[in-house]
Amino acid sequence: MLGTAELLTADENCHRAGFWTQRWERPKGTPVDFLQYGIRQGLTEAGTGDHGETSGEYLYELGASRQLDSKQMDIHAEIVHLSAISDIVTTALRKAGDAPWRVPETLPEWTPSCYLSPSGDYLRRVIFTTSWSDEKHYSFCRAWHTLGPVCHYSLPMQLAIIILGQHKNGKYHSFWTHGLRHPANKKLRFRKKNAIATPFKESWNEVWREDFDDIPTAEWLSSMHSDDVLRDLCFSLTVPVPEELARKRIVDLAARKMEAIRTTKSLPDENLSSCDWPQVCVFRNPCHKGDAPNGRFGFVPVEQIKSQ
């Protein structure tokens, strides 16, 4: 289901993107899309099973039914890599025995795409990013994905920030996925706590998370915590509810923008400056060719996705 925040964000980048987002969708998903699908399964499932395992298995199965948008030759290896990340991140976010995360109810003026804490006291959102900066901090906190639901539900939001590291050759390079193992006692390490700049000896073996089933997810997380790297890659921010006048102003702004989006009947002009930055527009290819999204460019009507 297309959330209100997704539609508002697309429209603010380019009115043409907002117009097409209501009508067309790409069946292919990005690596981050797949990670979001995976963790959602693990975070919201009922029961007391291994939520990380559920998350990873769901993402792996999704790889057989939905295409991953990738330039890699070995798509299967990339799916396995993403499944391992989904498993460990879900385990870090939802401990064994924790109640499932909930989904906020749909309001007449807002379709949510975030989560609700089990207690109902906080909205929640999981953000995957390759790096962190002050600019990203303010961008995520002020985005429609955050302020929109905060103001419509009058609840603060907890942002879970997951730093994935550089994405290269179909892999994310960070301590979530990559470590070192002692050749004799098999101890897993990431860095020296008291000598961070000092590398381990060359005899230590390089290990990727998805290649070593004999290392339990809990052990990998425990080692990240012991070497003091987990807090650099997984932390939270809380965005409070604005004071009432500011809250109502944002709710009214969303209503006006959504009304403008819904009443637009003809294709808007393109915005050339937002085609490639801060990220490549999903509609760039057909737009630059003077064409509408269609099957030739990998798009299908939204109604077709809904019916599946």
Per-residue pLDDT of the chain (308 residues; tens, 9 = 90+): 689 999 999 999 999 999 999 999 988 999 999 999 999 999 999 988 899 999 999 999 999 999 999 999 999 999 999 999 999 999 999 998 899 999 999 999 999 999 999 999 999 999 999 999 999 999 999 999 999 999 999 999 999 999 999 999 999 999 999 999 988 888 999 987 666 667 777 789 899 999 998 999 999 999 999 999 999 999 999 999 999 999 999 999 999 999 999 999 999 999 999 999 888 999 999 999 999 999 999 999 987 765 44
Phi first, then psi: what are they for 29, rounded to 5°? -120, 145
Residue 301 corresponds to which tokens in the numbers above? 């009507």
> Rounded distance, CA 67 to CA 14, Å?
26
Q: What is the pLDDT of residue 258?
A: 97
Q: Which of 264, 256, 259 is nearest to 16 (CA)?
A: 264
If one counts every other C-beta atom within 10 angstroms of the C-beta of residue 44, the result is 15
Residue 134 corresponds to which tokens in the numbers above? 């002050």
Q: What is the pLDDT of residue 308?
A: 47
Residue 54 corresponds to which tokens in the numbers above? 């559920």
Phi first, then psi: what are they for 68, rounded to 5°? -90, 130
User: Which residue is listed with tokens 């892999």?
Assistant: 171
- 157, 122 contact by CB (below 8 A): yes
Can you give the pTM of this predicted structure? 0.93
Residue 243 corresponds to which tokens in the numbers above? 């004071």
Q: What is the pLDDT of residue 1?
A: 63
Q: Which of 43, 49, 2 is nearest to 22 (CA)?
A: 2
**DSSP conformation class of 170:** T
User: Which residue is listed with tokens 């939001």?
Assistant: 157
If one counts every other C-beta atom within 10 angstroms of the C-beta of residue 207, the result is 17
